Chain A
């Protein structure tokens, strides 16, 4: 058994405020195959994925891990990036949570985009990554400020629900209070849900009393 303090998400960092540089990846529909190609998911594990992050873009030779000088995260100015700024529909495609695990292992704590795929968004919340949704023109403006990497420091404050860009302007964002709380507390949703055990049992009893056809026993047809 892995050591896990009750209530805390295993290995998940709480999110309150980060101050960091951001990398612009201004393409639409950056899918989870791009974020972590399937071939990089080599072990039955949530670990060992950061080297495969953006492998198709990051390396000119994936097998030999030859860095692609054109790719933004390979520039020295973006060393230590914790924020990605991207086009709409970030994280679309496969449900693979490995995409978020790879981002976390690489050091990414937040992604700013006009929209996210539903599964990727949810996977972010489960893993302490803040998905910030802002209008496309605002995202584009932030991406411009991120060009140059280390010259632009962003602050993302989840408590205040705002971003302070390198020019000192404040951008407020919306987030579901449930998601915000999960990120702030770093609490494990399973433990929280298990406190509702009685409600689940009551619901289940009524649900299958009223729908006997829906209940199976022992996986037998």
Chain B
């Protein structure tokens, strides 16, 4: 019977069929971070259990570490230090490799896992973090779980999982110059809704995906969870394989050759059946941002903030009018031109080198508008070092951006730093939820280039609105 890529990944990890579409799945790798992993390790230890296969478990400090120079264990978030210390002690107790606060390879879990070659095509990988789906970009079965399930995975190397339905999203056409995976995924979420992938695993495919580099594919899969999907996957190809070759934890020598030959079979059979098929053409897409408090509140940069009256559904009506209320915008106004107070570039969605290069191409020789607090947080120490080697840090700093140390930073507010009450922020992150970036802080999601352009103009803006455009601009060593 014809199989999808997801079927193949699933079948390769079934330890026992538990009936009724549930299976006990083998877990090849577990990644944990200090925010939820610390709780899982502590609970595991308190219940008298152990980590079954520590060599296959990795930890990082990303969620609540400070991103200011000279950081240590103490954090701006009250009690953050407790999480950091509990994580470090837990990892030591369990014998888990930890990418610690100031290690040369520390960073956001979904940035460093691929950098290190920890995620590989064909592996199953879980993390108590919803954006684990990012790593599905490599053709791995990677999905986010809760802390109790993390304990289960740590203690047994398995998880009890209900097999989701399957959905294929084919992205056709040619992505217009300057547009990125972020615009594509915001557009898709806007079209399908924040519950559009509910109950499904998504496979992204089509010429636009094939043409994307791995960092773009990760951005795309990252926001699979914002469709409420179980996870997202992309078939591994030469692009994925060459990305991973030589990475520290990737196989070497004969093992690499063996792996490569297996990975070439990791694709959906031509006649495989999906429960749902979505075809999207992006040839006429323009920069996409959000206006409201759900990623589904997406609008093209030339579009208008919607009205609550035309949805025909009372629940939606209520949700949209509450969203407008929170975000502090009038229905019917153009989204472009809305004044901003802050700009944030970073996160597991858009904190990789290519993201920083795109933003820097817009920022070079320009300065952020007066009164805009602008921050760039590289996704990892490695991204930071590579960006600095290209001189990108200087471009950001000259433009008036703060240049920070790696972490999740202001993607979410844990009681430490925020942009401030009712401040309006344009952000390369993944969630524009109420209070996500701070109490009453208003978040608009966008791509790195759009965030950079908006920071310069002081309002939500297309990079086309800058006087000499950005498409032909280059940064030393970088691409536009």
Contacts and interface: CB of A to CB of B under 8 A. Distances in A.
B195 A92 contact: yes
A214 B123 contact: yes
B472 interface: no
A116 B230 CA distance: 11
Interface in B340-381: none
B199 A115 contact: yes
Nearest to A99: B146
Interface string B208-240: 000000000000000001101110000000000
Contact of B318 (A27, A37, A100): A27
Contact of B433 (A4, A34, A95, A176): A34
Interface in A81-104: 87-89, 92-97, 100
A29 B194 CA distance: 7
Contacts, number: 222
A87 B54 CA distance: 41
A38 B145 contact: no
Contacts of B4: none
Contact of B439 (A62, A94, A123, A203): A62
Contacts of A92: 194-195, 226, 228
A89 B228 contact: yes
A117 B36 contact: no
A27 B318 CA distance: 7
Interface in A192-221: 193-194, 196, 199-200, 203-204, 207, 211-214, 216-219, 221
A119 B47 contact: no
A123 B146 contact: yes
Contacts of B155: 190, 194
Contacts of B412: 33, 38, 94
Given A44-B82, A203-B15, A97 B148 contact: yes
Interface residues of B, number: 94
Interface in A79-137: 87-89, 92-97, 100, 115-119, 122-123, 126-127, 136
B436 interface: yes
B48 interface: yes
Contact of A95 (B13, B46, B128): B128
B362 to A, nearest CB: 29
A92 to B, nearest CB: 5
A65 B82 CA distance: 24
Contacts of B314: 26, 140
A93 B431 contact: yes
Interface string B11-49: 011011011111010101000000110110011001111
B195 A213 contact: no
A27 B311 CA distance: 14
B208 to A, nearest CB: 26
A95 B228 contact: no
- 6 closest A-B pairs by beta carbon, nearest first, are A221-B248, A219-B97, A39-B415, A89-B195, A97-B146, A213-B251
Interface of B: 12-13, 15-16, 18-22, 24, 26, 28, 35-36, 38-39, 42-43, 46-49, 54-58, 77-79, 82-83, 86, 96-97, 116-117, 120, 122-123, 128-130, 143-149, 151-152, 155-158, 160, 162, 164, 194-195, 198-199, 225-226, 228-230, 248-249, 251, 255-256, 258-259, 262, 294, 296, 314-316, 318-319, 322, 412-415, 431, 433-436, 439
10 contacts: A44-B86, A88-B195, A95-B128, A115-B228, A178-B20, A194-B156, A196-B15, A207-B13, A219-B55, A219-B97
Interface of A: 1-2, 4, 10, 26-29, 31, 33-34, 37-39, 41-46, 56, 62, 87-89, 92-97, 100, 115-119, 122-123, 126-127, 136, 140, 176-179, 189-190, 193-194, 196, 199-200, 203-204, 207, 211-214, 216-219, 221
